[in-house]
Structure 1
């Protein structure tokens, strides 16, 4: 706010300095009759001088040539004095003209800053946050350092194009900078030189999607399918394959894949918001987390599932949630065999949701909890 006040004061000072001469009142004309009296005085003085010249010439004190020169000089002075006094009697700027000047000054003083603000609002960036000089300098140094680092790696790869590790390091940098085509080529080189891995295939597919403005092209699908075959629980391939099915109009397959991803992910996973939104948009319902005691699960998997359910419980206890989230919690405790916790979650859901607790009641009946 202080900087805008300073700019306003500076603008006002500059406009005042330019327009002040226009607003000054002109010098008043001489009082009536004063000009005539001055002119008469000047004329009488030079007429007396001419009589003196004639008298001196008659007495022989001045030669004829000298008398003639003196008469001419006196006549010139009389003429010059008459012209000067005549200029003083010329019309001067009156009060109406002065008012017009002052109005023009006031209009300019108010209009120039207003026009400047409008132009800045249209073509400037008033919404950008302030950035101190030190931060701008640091950002500039960071950008220069990054550009220098990229140039160094590119020079190295031009000399050693078989360095797969160099291509793998450079690819995500290209992706972050928005150089999608370069990122795709770098991932292709890394895959060719270092071989297929689930993270490498997933990143390659994601770069293809970014280069296609969010669409999942055929090459990306093949990369994601290959990554999922190598690691069925990988998040990124499953998410993009679900999006590909949605893109093809196969709603059931897209919902099934999104549900698989939701069921195998922690409730607070960063991608869960997008998964929930996609399932709801396609008309599906979120599944409950996988039961922790399901046969075939390892101890590590059971611990992870219990942690997901506990995290969901803590989040709902702290900030509440949707009926679907309470339903998932009650059903999860029921499947895990923890009926006491399921009953407690049902009671909390009733208190939190009120009339909207019908889906939770239905889930409670499914797992055998009485519904008073």
Structure 2
């Protein structure tokens, strides 16, 4: 397993979730979308990144005598000694999310933003996790983080899709469709992602 493969798999998993956001947001439980998105960001990366960081097969499937919580604690302690390890902070944030501790992931994302000030990805992930912690959707500080990410990279697909969801959350269909059309411009026209997005756009436009 290579780190490049893990990252590619995580990206595909995230993109597969993005077209579901309009339907989930329009349903009875917006929290279901936030939870799904956060898990989509956290789960695909954690096991592989643990392997990449620790270089041990049992980091992916740890035995009962070596629980994930202990590995996460050791990683957190190591990062206090090596605070400039961006990959380590990425892993720590994912691990906290997988352990159901998204509030503990927030300082890790803040550290990542310090280490990678020109990277839109940590800001986008930070926004999702903050929305999950606050339980109020993407409005407010999460959307402000997304707008910062968009200024860094106007073609960043997760950011565009999440801003579309934020607009849809507040009932701004025109803005939502605008963001989602920008996503369509970045993904293959014949992909399942594009087909799902076109279907979502059609549904919100007829309401």
1:240 aligned residue: 162
2:83 aligned residue: 162
Partners of 1:208 and 1:217 within 8 A in 2: no
* Superposed displacement of residue 164, structure 1: 4.6
Q: What is the distance in 1 between the residues matched to 2:125 and 2:65?
A: 24
Q: Which has the larger radius of gyration?
A: 1
- 1:319-366 Cα deviation digits (max 9, x unpaired): xxxxxxxxxxxxxxxxxxxxxxxxxxxxxxxxxxxxxxxxxxxxxxxx
Q: What is the distance in 2 between the residues matched to 1:254 and 1:161?
A: 41
The CA RMSD measured in Å over matched residues stands at 2.9
- TM-score scaled to structure 2, two decimals? 0.59
1:151 aligned residue: 73
Larger relative contact order (CA 8 Å, sep ≥ 6)? 2
- TM-score scaled to structure 1, two decimals? 0.35
Q: What is the distance in 2 between the residues matched to 1:182 and 1:270?
A: 34
- 1:302-328 Cα deviation digits (max 9, x unpaired): xxxxxxxxxxxxxxxxxxxxxxxxxxx
Q: What is the distance in 2 between the residues matched to 1:190 and 1:259?
A: 29
Aligned length: 146
* Superposed displacement of residue 270, structure 1: 5.8
* Superposed displacement of residue 168, structure 1: 2.7
Q: What is the distance in 2 between the residues matched to 1:184 and 1:143?
A: 28
2:172 aligned residue: 250
In structure 2, relative to structure 1, the CA distance for the partners of 1:140 and 1:264 (3 Å cut) is closer
Partners of 1:242 and 1:254 within 8 A in 2: yes
Q: Is residue 2:140 matched to residue 1:201?
A: no
Q: Unaligned regions of 5+ residues in structure 1, if any?
A: 1-137, 285-372
In structure 2, relative to structure 1, the CA distance for the partners of 1:145 and 1:230 (3 Å cut) is same
1:180 aligned residue: 102
Equivalent residues in 2 for 1:1-372 (5 A)?
Answer: 141=63, 144-157=66-79, 159-160=80-81, 162-165=83-86, 166-213=88-135, 215-267=137-189, 269=191, 271-272=193-194, 275-283=197-205
In structure 2, relative to structure 1, the CA distance for the partners of 1:214 and 1:278 (3 Å cut) is farther
Q: What is the distance in 2 between the residues matched to 1:142 and 1:229?
A: 45
